[in-house]
Amino acid sequence: MKWRKNDIQQYVQSKEYIDTILLPLIPIQLSSDDDAEKHASQSEVMNILANEIEKELTGRIMLAPNYHYLKSADKQLESKRLNGWAEDMKKQPFSHIVYITFDSSWKKHEKDISDNLLWMPAVQVGEINSKEMHGIIREQVGQTVELIRSYWQSN
Amino acid sequence: MSNEKQQVSRRQFLNYTLTGVGGFMAAGLLISPIRMAVDPVLKESSAGDLANVGLSVDDITSEPQRIDWSVDQVDGWYESEVNRSAWVYRNEDDEIVAFSPVCKHLGCVVSWEGSENHPNEYFCPCHDGRYYKDGTNVPGTPPLAPLDEYEQEVRDGMLFLGDARPREEA
Ligand code: FES
């Protein structure tokens, strides 16, 4: 399920089956040319990745809107905001919230976040539509799906 | 001979032209849906056509295999390449069958033998939905209908697949 009208309508009717939120954490920063390009490209990859995962598990996962933040922002503050999002979402019967990100700086704040943080190393992107890139993304999708299934099983 | 033309004032001229443009646009609005329906060149997408999925029929066995291919699709505002997948195998009557992997419960992607506990079946990871090899849903699991089946054709020994269609209730 995605954050769009039709999906939410369906969600409201089948809540008992959709118990997991997938929430991409995506840093932005426009002030430096090089970094901006890197962030934009990683954000593109993250969107593809998140959409593919959603497609595999659409009947049990709600893909939340991306959480964007300044790369240089204070992560402790951001964690607080994020927990606010999570708190609101949990007013629905979601039993798993999974944050997915390429930004390793979240690792240091894992304890500040009340839910599962799924960090994966950013791939160096050449051409996003290349065969090679497709392979890499498919691989990451497969691994992430397995991981999410393991969260389900441990419940 | 240019008398009539000179009688057209500036305002009238503007009026005529604007009405003309408006009328033309309105006609466009009226015509386009009809043309979309009739004119094959303007048809929505190639999604309804059969696509070569890159699988030789000689390679299709009684063991279901997953194949992926992509088609161009116009979806509302966006034209995009969409990926499609199928599980393809040969049934007991030696007929080629291609199932859509989309679970009939809430749409997750099913896999052949996706669970060790349920060999010889399709398995849906979301709510343990199951289907027999012939695509029929296993009673007592969440899905209430058999897997959709792709339209298909064999051309020059290659498999072509079209749209997935719901099957008759088994
Ligand atoms: S989506 Fe397949 S069992 Fe629910």
Ligand 1 centroid–CA A122 distance in Å is: 31
From chain B, pick out residues whose CB is under 8 angstroms from the CB of A57.
108-109, 125-126
Q: What percent of chain B stands above pLDDT 90?
A: 61
Are residues A96 and A20 in contact, defined by beta-carbon separation less than 8 angstroms? yes
A54 has a pLDDT exceeding 90: yes
How far apart, in Å, are the Cα atoms of A83 and each of A67, A106, A119, B1, B55? 12, 13, 17, 81, 48
A window 27-66, beta carbon within 8 A of B: 55-60
Query: Residues 136..155 of A with a Cβ closer than 8 Å to B: which?
Result: 145, 149
Report CA(A53)–ligand 1 centroid distance (Å). 15
Pocket of ligand 1 (CB under 6 A): A 17, 59; B 103, 105-108, 124, 126-127, 129, 142-143
Q: What average pLDDT does range A111-132 have in this prediction?
A: 82
**Residue B4: pLDDT band with limits 50, 70, 90:** low
Q: Whole-model pTM?
A: 0.81
Name the CA dihedral angle for A11, A14, A19, A23, rounded to a multiple of 10 degrees.
-10
pLDDT in tens, B114-160: 999 999 999 999 999 999 999 999 999 999 999 999 999 999 999 99
Show residues of chain A in contact with B106, CB under 8 Å: 10, 14, 17-18, 58-60
Asked whether the beta carbons of residue A58 and residue B108 sit closer than 8 angstroms, the reply is: yes
Domain harbouring A35, CATH code:
3.40.50
In whole angstroms, give the CA distance from residue B82 to residue B129: 25
Q: Which of A3-12, A18-27, A117-126, B30-39 has the lowest mean pLDDT?
A: B30-39
At B43, the pLDDT band (50, 70, 90 cuts) reads very low
Distances (CA, A) of B163 to A93, A125, A134, B18, B151: 36, 33, 24, 45, 6
**Would you say the ipTM is above 0.95?**
no
**What percentage of residues in chain A have a pLDDT greater than 90?**
81
Containing structural domain, residue A43: 5-153
